[in-house]
Amino acid sequence: MARISKGQLDKLQKKYITDEAIGKLFGISRQAVHQLRNKYGIAPVGDKHRERNEEINRSYGQGISGTKLSKKFKLSISQTYRIITLYKGKKAKKK
């Protein structure tokens, strides 16, 4: 596993956001970075996909199918519908 200190990983996460991007810098997998974050007790960046998820929901609300959205965003159909369902739940709680 790559030699990345807790402080380094914290700074890298703020700059590169995703475990995948950090892994590419060090030639390690996304999972290896995830394991390091867990080892050091560093929480993942929470809203790294917020804009994408909001666009998926906006488009779905405008009548674009989940299948087309999954292809556009390179997600599985089930993941796309999980995002849509999650946002519906958040809107219902706000009311």
pLDDT in tens, the chain (95 residues): 568 899 999 899 888 888 889 999 999 999 999 999 999 998 887 666 788 899 999 999 999 999 999 999 999 999 999 999 987 766 655 65
Supply the pLDDT for residue 7.
Answer: 92
Report the pLDDT value the prediction gives residue 14, as an integer from 0 to 100: 85
Three-class secondary structure of residue 95 per DSSP: coil
Compute the distance between CA of residue 49 and CA of residue 17 in angstroms, rounded to an integer: 10
Q: What is the pLDDT of residue 48?
A: 66
- What pTM, to 2 d.p., does this model score? 0.53
Helix (H, G, I), strand (E, B) or coil at 64: coil
Beta strands in the chain (DSSP E): none
Domain map (residue ranges) of the chain: 6-40, 50-94
Residue 76 pLDDT: 94
